[in-house]
Structure 1
Amino acid sequence: MPTSLAPGVTRREIWAWAMFDFANSGYTTVVITAVFNAYFVAVVAKGEAWGTLAWTSAIALSYALIILSAPLVGAYADAFACKKRLLLFSTVGCVVFTAGLALAGPGELGVAILFIVLSNFCFGSGENLIAAFLPELARVEALGKVSGWGWGFGYIGGLFSLGACLAFVSWAQAQGQTAAQFVPVCMLITASLFAVASLPTFLFLRERSQPQPVCGDMPIAQAVLARFAQTLREAGRYRDLLGFLACTVCYQAGISAVITLAAIYANQVMGFSTQDTLLLILVVNITASIGAVLFGWLQDRLGHRATLALTLLGWLGMVALVWVARGPGLFWLAANLAGLCMGASQSAGRAIVGLLAPPTRLAEFFGLWGLAVKLSAILGPMTYGLTSWLSAGDHRLAMLITGSYFVVGLLILAGVDLERGRQVAVSRTESLNQ
């Protein structure tokens, strides 16, 4: 491990960084993927036909807010060397608003939408900020491996939160409780675990970045806007980074649809109960953890681009399996293939951005990456939701159409040259700060 770390970085610090992936994965696993999404459609929206569209619209709104704010938050974090402080604010927000989801009972649509938008906004903002620490912690040649450690550890965290919720749901159902009674408690469990598991990050992770020059005596807001405007003016110089961000929008759109709608698909198409779905997602988290670590190691040997292309082909295989699945066997196989590719593709994406981002503007460029990811998180689920609605609830057709995003992502990826992009990022560092 020490040969993979940047000078001065300790094993404890890498653990503390990875613990944030461990902590926040419980939110995506329980709230977005396995429990609250299906609860929203079946209980909050009372099973109405517009329930899936309402859910994807609420998620889309939260991501739209991140798209508007992420690059500016990143520019501010770089200019004033405060990634860790902003990460703390976003974490507290996500914990509080996740707990607020416990107030969303049957028919409480406004409450559910309010807290899902706010909690997911805080989650996404924190996701960008923690990713920006990666290039400070790992050597360039080990970005894939270290990113894979984080993602792999993160899926274990999701597994832990989901396991705790599954244990409670099993007990609650044995007592005769309904989803309206046990799902709110699951939200409180998830919020509590997020808060506790993130503590090592704030205790041991160091802020290594240095404040960057801002524009004279400008007010802070104006200086941040000026810094971001400079990056936009020079964006054309980062041809390969822009190409990869476009690729990210496409393939992440497909991934976001799967993550956001997996439980809904399992419930509405495959007839899975809440307990069945929790068990499926629990097993998939194990597969995803293995995929993140295995492919993270493979990235630094096979190459980032080739590894990502391999995982996108895997995603296409998953879509094909879901399309033909009529029973639980093939669906379980498809779900675990998705888990294997999920950890790998997300780990690869974070590592590639770390490779292509200028060293003095990590938070800002990871903010641009976050913008791309969140734009995809609007496109993918909304494509699925609209297709499902227009086709009178044909979830198989919705999944097939959403899968086309992986094809477009592969085509764009073929034109990205990572070595050229890395050279541009390093060569432009000094001029960016003049």
Structure 2
Amino acid sequence: MPEPSGRAREIWAWACYDLANSGYTTVVLTTIYSAYFVAVVAGALPGGVGTLLWTVAVAIANGCVLISAPVVGAVADHLACKKCFLLISTIACVLSTAALAVVGPGQVLPAMLLVTLSAIAFASGENLIAAFLPEIATRDRMGRVSGYGWGLGYVGGLLTLGACLGYIAWARGRGYDAPHYVPVTLLLTATVFALAAAPTFIWLRERARPRHLPGRAAYIRIGLQRVRDTLAHAARLPDLFRFLGCLVLFQSGVATVVVIAAIYAQQVMGFDSQQLIVLVMVVNLTAAIGAFGFGFAQDRFGSVPSLAVALLVWVAAIGVTWFARTPAEVWLAGNLMGLAMGATQAGGRALIGRFTPESRSAEFFGLWGLANRTAAIIGPLSYGAISGLSGGNHRLALLSTLCFFVAGLILLFSVNEARGEAAAGGR
């Protein structure tokens, strides 16, 4: 059954935010700036230290969001101001990303500070936009709508990377080096983010109604109380909390791949910037295919079986990466990761939506964000610590990533999807 025209436009506007913020993830966290930070900004430091500092900056950001997300989500529900909070986080991410353009080689602390600030803003916005999903899609369509958003997001990452690649090719053809062209790619990324997010703020509606209380402290108190209430009633939503634990495990692996992939390809496999960008552009295409295809598969076959298949693909992809010695093997692993990443990202968000009571969407998606942020601390830090302690042995560090996917797959089979949906509808 087709969506009404007004709702279809709203879904498109909602998905535009995935298109907008994916450029930040792709350029800053995954491809260009992560490798630039290790090789140039922190290039004078001993082997493995640059990778460790990069993972520390990302971990600090995710630690801040881990603490704040459930409260922000609960307050956003109570004040009916998800859209306002989303605007604030968007502006903060755009400005701090642009500010990274003025940080030069050797300026490690300013770079870490701005990466941390931008990552906090990005992750907060990711939580808030996800909280709109139960408002714009029925439970039986959440999988495909979530997949549509993730798929469009990968297209956005592809377009942003394409613009960056075009500029890098032009700059290198004229003899410019990375300290010249990387800052320009950051400005491009910030601009695309701001422009592509505009439809979200024009057409996406805030349907919740505010419940006013006297004084700002009362709102914070209500936010904290709602989070405590959510955690206290964990026994009534066992499948939601079991899946959140599963999410922490496999997202630890996903988060590691996101922030380490470019560093691994450059430091271990010897890829240069252009090779890396072309690889990630192709991987974004396969990730879009994975997200779109998985959305329909999830609605047709169920979330748990579909996610299990995606996690098996992740295990295979990490195994291929560990054994890879040639560029062709890296390309195979990268495209397997793309398919799996699109599937797990879309599937995890949609399943949380199905397990979420509609009246507490921002609060429960705050818990989803908490799980993601916990994973984004544990996974990359595990990798960074092993790499740092082993003097830069990336293949050894990769084994920790494989363990996260295997453990997540095992825990996933304890989640009862039908029971989880019934609990959410009855609460």
Judge conservation of contact 2:24–2:190 (CA < 8 Å) in 1.
yes
1:315 aligns with: 314
* 2:37 is equivalent to residue 40 of structure 1: yes
* 2:54 is equivalent to residue 58 of structure 1: no
1:137 aligns with: 136
1:324 aligns with: 323
Alignment of 1:342-353 (within 5 A): 342-353=341-352
Counterpart AA for 1:404: C
Alignment of 1:400-415 (within 5 A): 400-415=399-414
C-alpha separation in 2, matches of 1:308 and 1:216 = 44
**Does the C-alpha gap of structure 1 residues 238 and 113 become closer, same or farther in structure 2, counting only changes over 3 Å?**
same
RMSD, aligned α-carbons: 1.5
Counterpart AA for 2:15: A
Deviates more, 1:26-35 or 1:382-391: 382-391
User: 2:359 is paired with a residue of what secondary structure?
Assistant: coil
How far residue 111 of structure 1 moved from its aligned partner, in angstroms, is 1.2
Runs of 4+ with >3 A deviation: 212-218
How far residue 361 of structure 1 moved from its aligned partner, in angstroms, is 0.4
TM-score (norm 1): 0.95
Give the share of equivalent positions with the same residue, in percent. 52
Alignment of 1:220-369 (within 5 A): 220-369=219-368
C-alpha separation in 1, matches of 2:216 and 2:43 = 55
**Does the C-alpha gap of structure 1 residues 217 and 288 become closer, same or farther in structure 2, counting only changes over 3 Å?**
closer
Judge conservation of contact 2:44–2:106 (CA < 8 Å) in 1.
no
Counterpart AA for 2:321: V
How far residue 218 of structure 1 moved from its aligned partner, in angstroms, is 6.8
1:170 aligns with: 169
Counterpart AA for 2:14: W
Unaligned stretches of 5+ in structure 1?
A: 429-434
2:16 aligns with: 19
C-alpha separation in 1, matches of 2:129 and 2:160 = 20
1:384 aligns with: 383
How far residue 228 of structure 1 moved from its aligned partner, in angstroms, is 2.1
C-alpha separation in 2, matches of 1:9 and 1:394 = 53
* 2:109 is equivalent to residue 127 of structure 1: no
**Does the C-alpha gap of structure 1 residues 365 and 9 become closer, same or farther in structure 2, counting only changes over 3 Å?**
farther
C-alpha separation in 2, matches of 1:100 and 1:110 = 14
1:152 aligns with: 151
How far residue 235 of structure 1 moved from its aligned partner, in angstroms, is 2.4
Counterpart AA for 1:221: I
**Does the C-alpha gap of structure 1 residues 9 and 231 become closer, same or farther in structure 2, counting only changes over 3 Å?**
farther
1:198 aligns with: 197
1:431 aligns with: none
Counterpart AA for 1:27: Y
Deviates more, 1:214-223 or 1:126-135: 214-223
C-alpha separation in 2, matches of 1:402 and 1:348 = 20
Counterpart AA for 1:296: G
Judge conservation of contact 2:98–2:190 (CA < 8 Å) in 1.
yes
User: 2:358 is paired with a residue of what secondary structure?
Assistant: coil
Judge conservation of contact 2:61–2:116 (CA < 8 Å) in 1.
yes
Q: How many residues align?
A: 425
**Does the C-alpha gap of structure 1 residues 159 and 216 become closer, same or farther in structure 2, counting only changes over 3 Å?**
closer
How far residue 16 of structure 1 moved from its aligned partner, in angstroms, is 0.5
Deviates more, 1:221-230 or 1:91-100: 221-230
Counterpart AA for 1:264: I
User: 2:183 is paired with a residue of what secondary structure?
Assistant: helix
User: 1:403 is paired with a residue of what secondary structure?
Assistant: helix
Judge conservation of contact 1:34–1:277 (CA < 8 Å) in 2.
yes
Alignment of 1:111-122 (within 5 A): 111-122=110-121
Counterpart AA for 2:79: F
How far residue 212 of structure 1 moved from its aligned partner, in angstroms, is 4.8
1:73 aligns with: 72
**Does the C-alpha gap of structure 1 residues 217 and 11 become closer, same or farther in structure 2, counting only changes over 3 Å?**
closer
Deviates more, 1:214-223 or 1:61-70: 214-223
2:108 aligns with: 109
Counterpart AA for 1:352: L
User: 1:206 is paired with a residue of what secondary structure?
Assistant: coil
User: 1:10 is paired with a residue of what secondary structure?
Assistant: helix
C-alpha separation in 1, matches of 2:406 and 2:294 = 20
Deviates more, 1:208-217 or 1:385-394: 208-217
* 2:181 is equivalent to residue 182 of structure 1: yes
How far residue 12 of structure 1 moved from its aligned partner, in angstroms, is 1.1
User: 1:198 is paired with a residue of what secondary structure?
Assistant: helix
Judge conservation of contact 1:26–1:162 (CA < 8 Å) in 2.
yes
**Does the C-alpha gap of structure 1 residues 381 and 217 become closer, same or farther in structure 2, counting only changes over 3 Å?**
closer
